[in-house]
Amino acid sequence: MLFTIANQQIRSILRDGRFRTSALLMGGLFLLSVLGTLDYYTSLKKQHDEATATAREQWENQEDKNPHSAAHYGTYVFKPIYPLSYFDPGVDAFTGNTLFLEGHRSNQPKFRAAEDRGAFARLGILTPAFVLGMLFPLFIILLGFGSAATERENGNLRLLLAQGVKPSTLFWGKSLGLWAVVLLLVLPFFAAGAAGLVAVNAGGEHWLRYALIILLYLAYFGCFIHLTLIISAWTGKQNAALVGSIGAWVLICLLTPKVVVNLARQLYPAPTWQAYNDAIKKDLETGVDGHDPTDVFTQKLEKETLAKFGVDSVHQLPFNWDGFVMQKGEEHETYVFQKHKTRLLNIYRQQQQIHQAAAVVSPYILTGILSQQLAGTDVNTYFDFLAAAERYRVQLVGELNADLTYNFKYGDWSGKRGKDFFAQNTRFEYASSPTDKLLGDLAKPAGFLLIWLVVSGWIAVFFFKKMEPV
Amino acid sequence: MISAKNLTKKYGDKTALDNLTLDIAPGEIFCLLGQNGAGKTTTINCFLGFTQPTSGQAFINGLNVAQHPIETKKHLAYLPEVVVLYPNLTGLENLDYFSRLAGFKYEKAELLQLLERAGLPKDDAVRRVSEYSKGMRQKVGIAIALAKKAKALFLDEPTSGLDPKASNDFTHLLLELKEEGVAVLMATHDIFKAKDGATRIGIMKDGRLVNIIDNLRDVLHAKEIEDIYLQTV
């Protein structure tokens, strides 16, 4: 009986002009989004690979110079572009993924894609994730809003129930029918997405992530199928069901995400750029400055070091004082930057916690969080990259200062290092968090999404049973 | 086959159905006459389980409707006043769908035969319902009711939308079913058709069954029933 109802639902929808029009529209938009982002991804990936190679080549082939001067010369690192970022670019467009590393200071990433595109980019770019997350629910609503309401209004429900159909069977049949139509349209989408992965030559781990993305969006669509059926049965009137479903869509997909972001910012405000930099500047003055011998902290360090080694002058130290004081200054600077960055990061984390907690009310937010995590374009992956880049900076500058300290004589600023030395400096290697750790992070939001799916189905059965066949 | 015991339905202060007691035996056609709002549809709704009675019971084939909502459906067929169906499906597909829901899988030839018996020719049966007139949809509804082979038949203004010939054919169909031992409860405004088909006629007013005419063989003209009806309501 279940399949009879589902089959009838499928036939009715497929023969309806609304389906053909909206399916064509959806298909067109999705194809456009895949082609558009794939093109963007491949050109970005190419730029990045080239830039990564160029940055290292420039580092190794820099003019012969003093190792500390090389720390000032600096180098670039790039956040890897993952194959699935074409599916869901996530925060990548807003955060920038190019970082300049140098001695004495910890920089902010540059080259945000959103900067190039202006305010329009914030409205959402046409990405596969946007089409599936934001637009596809409208397609489900359009096909399903009448499922119960139309039957009730035109009297077919009376005939159905008189034939001995249980209301719960009617619900399962209707949702099965909607599922079939949704799959009919969305499976080619996922195949197109997979073709995209083949095109960018993605590795096995990314296929696992992609499989999870497919499951994720199917669960998300399930929530909207249930929601549409709930509202259809609850209102019992076509017009009210359409208005109600679109209202729910506005609430879930447009309103809550904005409200939640603003709420998080209100509760845990981040300092202004100005205040943040001023605080760092102020703290930098409370420690050793390697470039300023008159600095009180430098002088204090000098006294202590001389006393420790029992000598009268920095000339008599068993190492190059210049290199030593540079490294001490670097350590202080690193400490200050780290302190303020951690403070800022904690504010962001608190905002994120609000976001995750509030995500419970909107399957759209839950799906967004999970989709970005799976694509490797979420904010945690970004912070992870920044932390790795900072560790690398500390290591590289430390190597250079150590060379100056132990391999150069005091006052020898004209001594130089060449290509053979720079080529031996540590390379930046960054791998995103492994998939098994990722799966742990996914568990909670995925659990909430499943609860949404199950509870909404349960509520839908309740409203189908309550529906009066007037 | 169809029986009600002190069946009462109240909506707040208003009594839609007042202490109805009724027994319709197999092979009997009981016609309910009455003005709009007299309680005819409420009576049918109670038997279909769509309305829960405030007190009293409705029985189909000896089973209490409120206690056996699904089981009682197996013994009854229902024809609503307006049959809408699914416009994107053909009449044949609609009949097939509703029959399957009731647990019957008919061959195409059998379905066509049912539609023909209900007065819908084969050429029309394979057209989409969106092209149908009200009367044609009504005929598919009749076929759906026939296909269930039920022992209790509930008809709510079944001839509305049927032309006089179709309406007449329908009365003959009812008489055939009567011979087959089907118990029929029919709500109608058509006194003439009631006189032709019914074994008994009940007149309802304000939720009460106020008058039962069971000596229909002695009634010569529909006019006499009309007079009784007008005096009653």
Per-residue pLDDT tens for B96-153?
A: 999 999 999 999 999 999 999 999 999 999 999 999 999 999 999 999 999 999 999 9
Per-residue confidence (pLDDT) for residue A113, from 0 to 100: 56
CB neighbours of A191 closer than 8 A, spacing ≥ 6? none
Share of chain B above pLDDT 90, in %: 68
**Tokens encoding B136:** 């044609």
Please give, rounded to a whole number of angstroms, the shortest distance from the CA of B23 to a CA of chain A.
21
pLDDT at B155 over 90: yes
- For residue B118, the one-letter residue type is A
End-to-end CA distance of chain B: 28
Q: Which residues of A touch B93 (CB under 8 A)?
A: 11
Give A389-399 pLDDT, tens digit per residue.
999 999 999 99
Between CA B198 and CA B24 the distance in angstroms is: 12
Residues B86, A16: C-beta atoms closer than 8 Å? no
pLDDT at B226 over 80: yes
In the block, residue with structure tokens 């209900």: B118
Per-residue confidence (pLDDT) for residue A123, from 0 to 100: 45
Share of chain A above pLDDT 70, in %: 96
- For residue A397, the one-letter residue type is V
Mean local confidence (pLDDT), A165-180: 95
ipTM: 0.92
Question: How confident is the prediction for chain A on average, in pLDDT?
Answer: 89
pLDDT at A116 over 60: no
**Tokens encoding B126:** 């394979």
Please give, rounded to a whole number of angstroms, the shortest distance from the CA of A148 to a CA of chain B.
13
The residue of chain A with its CA nearest to that of B153 is A162
Per-residue confidence (pLDDT) for residue A21, from 0 to 100: 92
Q: Which residues of B touch A1 (CB under 8 A)?
A: 100-101, 103
Give the best residue of A4, A10, A18, A159 to mutate against chain B (max B CB count within 10 A). Answer: A159
Q: Does B52 touch chain A (CB under 8 A)?
A: no
Predicted structure pTM score: 0.88
Residues A4, B82: C-beta atoms closer than 8 Å? no
Residues B70, A166: C-beta atoms closer than 8 Å? yes
pLDDT at A280 over 60: yes
The residue of chain B with its CA nearest to that of A7 is B97
Residue B218: how many CB atoms within 10 A of its CB? 8
Per-residue confidence (pLDDT) for residue B183, from 0 to 100: 95
CA distance readout (Å), A393 to A194, A338, A346: 37, 12, 22
Residues B97, A4: C-beta atoms closer than 8 Å? yes
Min mean pLDDT across A21-25, A287-291, B64-68 is at: A287-291
Min mean pLDDT across A94-108, A299-313, B43-57 is at: A94-108
Between CA A459 and CA B1 the distance in angstroms is: 37
Q: Which of B80, B86, B103 sits opposite A158 (nearest CB)?
A: B80
Min mean pLDDT across A223-237, A238-252, A376-390 is at: A376-390
* CATH architecture assignment, domain B2-75+150-232: 3-Layer(aba) Sandwich (3.40)
Cα A100 to its chain centre, rounded Å, is: 21
pLDDT at A114 over 70: no
Q: Is the dihedral of CA A282, A285, A286, A290 positive or negative?
A: positive
Give A183-204 pLDDT, tens digit per residue.
999 999 899 888 888 887 878 8
pLDDT at A90 over 90: no
**Strands B152-156 and B76-79, sheet pairing:** parallel
Number of cross-chain residue pairs from A and B with Cβ atoms under 8 Å apart: 66
Q: Which of A155, A158, A164 sits opposite B70 (nearest CB)?
A: A164
Per-residue confidence (pLDDT) for residue A120, from 0 to 100: 43
CB neighbours of A342 closer than 8 A, spacing ≥ 6? none
Please give, rounded to a whole number of angstroms, the shortest distance from the CA of A141 to a CA of chain B.
19
SS3 (DSSP) at A249: helix
Give the best residue of A8, A150, A163, A466 to mutate against chain B (max B CB count within 10 A). Answer: A163
pLDDT at A137 over 50: yes
Give B51-84 pLDDT, tens digit per residue.
999 999 999 999 999 999 999 999 999 999 889 9
Mean local confidence (pLDDT), A149-168: 93
Per-residue confidence (pLDDT) for residue A115, from 0 to 100: 53
Give the best residue of B68, B82, B86 to mutate against chain A (max A CB count within 10 A). Answer: B86
Q: Would you say B91 and B120 are in contact if contact means Cβ atoms under 8 Å apart? A: yes
CA distance readout (Å), A18 to A4, A143, A172, A174, A332: 22, 8, 23, 18, 66
Residue A291: HSE in the Cβ half-sphere, 13 Å Cα cutoff: 9
Restricting to B residues 9-28, those with a Cβ less than 8 Å away from any Cβ of A are none
Residue B219: HSE in the Cβ half-sphere, 13 Å Cα cutoff: 22
- For residue A307, the one-letter residue type is A
Per-residue confidence (pLDDT) for residue A409, from 0 to 100: 85
**Higher per-residue pLDDT: B226 or A464:** A464
Between CA A214 and CA A97 the distance in angstroms is: 27
pLDDT at A122 over 50: no
Per-residue confidence (pLDDT) for residue B36, from 0 to 100: 87
